[in-house]
Structure 1
Amino acid sequence: MPNTLVDAPLTAGQRTLLSVIADSWLQIGEWPQWYTFHRDFAERGLDAETLLRSLPRVGTNIHQSTSYGFTTALPSTFAETDTIRLTVAAGLVLPDLREALSTPFLRVLRQMVRRQTNPERKTRQDGTPIPPRMDSTLVTRLAGNTFAKALPDLLDHEPVLPTDRNPFSPEGTWQLEISRHVLQYRDTSTLEAYVDTTCQIVTANVALYDEAPAITPKKQRAKAGGRRVSIETFAPTLQRGLQTTTHWQTPGSTPALSSARAPYLDDDLFTAIKDAAQTTTWKVDKLLALCTELNDSYASGNAYACAALLRAVLDHIPPVFGHKDFKQVAAQHTFTVQRTDKAHAQKLASFKDIADDALHRPISANIPLITMNDIPEPTRLRAVLHELVTVLNKDGTTITI
């Protein structure tokens, strides 16, 4: 495996593969789905999966934050509806994509760094700082409307820039909270520097995952008397692990591990669910317990536990939407942001097949493992649970099904 993607050698077939993926985004603003993608390559006599898996990558497939390449992390097996995406790094080898995606991304990233380091940031009445934010209006001014629509999804798949955003409004606008992880790119001004820094952090995260079992969030919470403990509580311990397992340092950076341990679901979402439940007869205790355990398993890199818990959440919530199972929710519910959040729900509905595989497939001589790359992106479940909050807030009575 290379230690950086800058100047990584590519074959003619690999370049063609990347160009085909990029052309879909450049022409219609959407990444191709696996079904049409591999079919088109098969018609040319080429094996798309073999080419995809042959592309150079940095790190390992433990978790999104421990793997970086010209494409986003690949699942162990492809579903027909899986989306094939390129990362910002692909602009290194595709000039058109560099101009349309990578260069605007760096422009926005520099603005995010400036907002994170602004000494005049506002505070709440209790004196706590208000997290810096970025919205679609500002990004439209910086990089155009097309890029503004694409940015949230792009950030979801860059391994070192976790963000927490509000769902899209019906008009397609959004707002996101800027993570302090952008400070790792304080001195980054070129695409090559961004990719090099990302590859360094990903490599460090691999080493940190090797150190992680002794300091999982669940153990930390036990030491704290059962209360929830944020990543910042034990980041110093993990930072010491970083210093002993790597030999690089990015000026002005924050510990890379926090990105590896970012929660699947954020505390604000937990609070929103609790608050919304106050006005209904629905009891959300089990849902919150499942989500808490999902966060723990995700942070610990336990793929099978994540699959089982995510399946449990999807089985648990349909009655709030007036349906008996989640496939009905994905197919029939009218989402507040119909196109985007419905697509998230449909992806989660298709994930149930992987969860069933994790739970029910019997032992045999040759069965592929499920990895963290098979777990749906956090933004999908966040979108559905935000919609659940919206339904609870609109409807204060129990729906009979």
Structure 2
Amino acid sequence: MAGLAITTGRDDELVPVLPVIRAHLASVKLVADGRSPGVTSGVIQADDSKIGPTMPVLTALLSDAQLKLLDIMSEPYMDSGEWPVWHYVEAVMYDRGHDARAVLKSLPVAGSTNIGSRSYGLAWYDHNQLADDSRPALTAAAGLHVPRLEPLFEDKFISVLKYLISCQQKVKPSPDRVERAFVTPDDFKRNFPTTTSEFRAALPDILQHEPLLWRGINPSGSHQDGWRFELGQELMKLKDVDNLAAYVSRVVEIVEEERSATFQEYGRLRRDLLPPRDDEQPTITPTVTPVITTPLYVNQGLITELDQKQGQTKWSLDKLLQLLRELNDCYAEDRPFACHALVRAIIDHVPPILGCTSFEAAVSSYKWTRTDKKYMTRLLDFKTQADDVLHRHIRTSKDPISMHDLVPLGSHMNALLRECVDKL
């Protein structure tokens, strides 16, 4: 990718630009002192009465080191369309006198980073293991701090978001079945004709790092670009958003409400389960039935599609379906070792569907899209980690494998299953 050029010319549908955000944030001021070359050392400071009390979580004034980190990460991305590897970021930050890992972890975060919960910060990365070849990414919220990201996130991202919301508003639900609606790269091309192929190729990566949008990214082996976006009702939570600051404010509000609700429910359960202290009188609280959302590792829609293929293909799908269901069950119950074993079993089980005798052969010889090829390579690398779980002997120290080691691979597994379902 030569560079993340955004448009090939003026596109009226894609230009809400700065006058709009300034009109919306009449009480907002830009604080700057120019301490870091190439980046304005300041942020948009919001009046809580205008855009909500949670907004300052991600718009608080950043330190020099934090701004330098965002600048170092954003420059290669705007040049090439890919976030730089962590090894590069660490080296450049070290040359400038900073510990990149410590600075990254110091960036503000809203919500909860616990498994099964949602959070939102300026950066997206594996909180437990930062490998040298990993590529931490910046979220749309970083566009409030880094001027070079402003055209991408303030302008184009918000226009795409509005378009997705308008598409969702046109979906007509059926009382008899689940109607799944998708937006494809071809739809984006038709509706935003002046956007470049580089920008359309970057869209899945951008959307995957936004907590209310990432589940919509759906690998599609039937489309040449290898992805599509599944519309959903959660988009309507953002229907009143008209600029980047309002978007960040709304997302922070949602994840903070979820965190607060989880904390309150935990407190209620703790009070119900533990006896009161001698000096504490028990309190009677109204009975509330909590709404529990079970986290899924494998997209349920893919499992349903696979089940519908039963009897329509020469392959027996019983074992595969059971493996997938058990994987989702173990993931919901925080069973990391069982999850590792099941992921390993699944990737070894499906290659015949793709006309290959092994997963290694499928990765090397099957005709994948460019994105899916990267996903499959990562899944192949995962086999070493699964072997560690399955075959390492007992030792005196605690095993470091946890549920967090699975999180980056959910999209990879869904891409593999999407291809298998399309192939059946």
Within 1, Cα distance between the matches of 2:226 and 2:359?
27
The residue aligned with 1:152 is 204
Which structure 2 residues correspond to residues 2-401 of structure 1 after superposition, within 5 A?
4-42=56-94, 46-63=98-115, 65-118=117-170, 121-122=171-172, 128=177, 130-140=179-189, 141-142=191-192, 144-145=195-196, 146-161=198-213, 162-163=215-216, 165-167=218-220, 171-172=224-225, 174-207=227-260, 211=265, 237-239=289-291, 261=294, 263-276=296-309, 278=311, 280-321=313-354, 325-330=358-363, 332-337=364-369, 339-359=370-390, 360=392, 362=394, 364-365=396-397, 368=400, 370-372=402-404, 374-391=406-423, 393=424
Cα pair distance change 1:34/1:208, threshold 3 Å: same
Within 2, Cα distance between the matches of 1:53 and 1:95?
22
Structure with the bigger percentage of helix:
1
Instruction: Return the offset for 1:303.
Output: 4.1
Instruction: Return the offset for 1:62.
Output: 1.4
- Residue 5 of structure 1: SS of its match in structure 2? helix
Within 1, Cα distance between the matches of 2:160 and 2:220?
20
Contact kept, 8 Å, 1:72 with 1:157, in 2: the verdict is yes
What TM-score does the superposition give when structure 2 sets the normalisation length? Answer: 0.70
* Bigger Rg over Cα: 2
Cα pair distance change 1:130/1:371, threshold 3 Å: closer
Superposed CA deviations along residues 236-255 of structure 1, whole A, max 9, x for unmatched, are: 9445xxxxxxxxxxxxxxxx
User: Bigger shift: 73-82 or 202-211?
Assistant: 202-211
User: Bigger shift: 175-184 or 262-271?
Assistant: 262-271
Contact kept, 8 Å, 2:126 with 2:408, in 1: the verdict is no
What TM-score does the superposition give when structure 1 sets the normalisation length? Answer: 0.73
Cα pair distance change 1:197/1:122, threshold 3 Å: closer
Cα pair distance change 1:347/1:274, threshold 3 Å: same
Instruction: Return the offset for 1:340.
Output: 1.1
Within 2, Cα distance between the matches of 1:361 and 1:204?
44
Instruction: Return the offset for 1:123.
Output: 6.0
User: Amino acid of the residue matched to residue 135 of structure 2?
Assistant: T
User: Amino acid of the residue matched to residue 190 of structure 1?
Assistant: N
Within 2, Cα distance between the matches of 1:381 and 1:25?
26
Contact kept, 8 Å, 1:22 with 1:86, in 2: the verdict is yes
Contact kept, 8 Å, 2:296 with 2:332, in 1: the verdict is yes
Contact kept, 8 Å, 1:5 with 1:89, in 2: the verdict is no
Instruction: Return the offset for 1:178.
Output: 0.7
Within 2, Cα distance between the matches of 1:361 and 1:55?
38
Contact kept, 8 Å, 1:71 with 1:87, in 2: the verdict is yes
Structure 1: state its 5+ residue gaps.
216-235, 240-256, 394-401
Percent identity of the aligned residues? Answer: 30
Aligned-residue Cα RMSD (Å) equals 3.4
Superposed CA deviations along residues 259-287 of structure 1, whole A, max 9, x for unmatched, are: xx453323432243345564554332222
Structure 2: state its 5+ residue gaps.
1-53, 270-287
- Residue 229 of structure 2: SS of its match in structure 1? strand
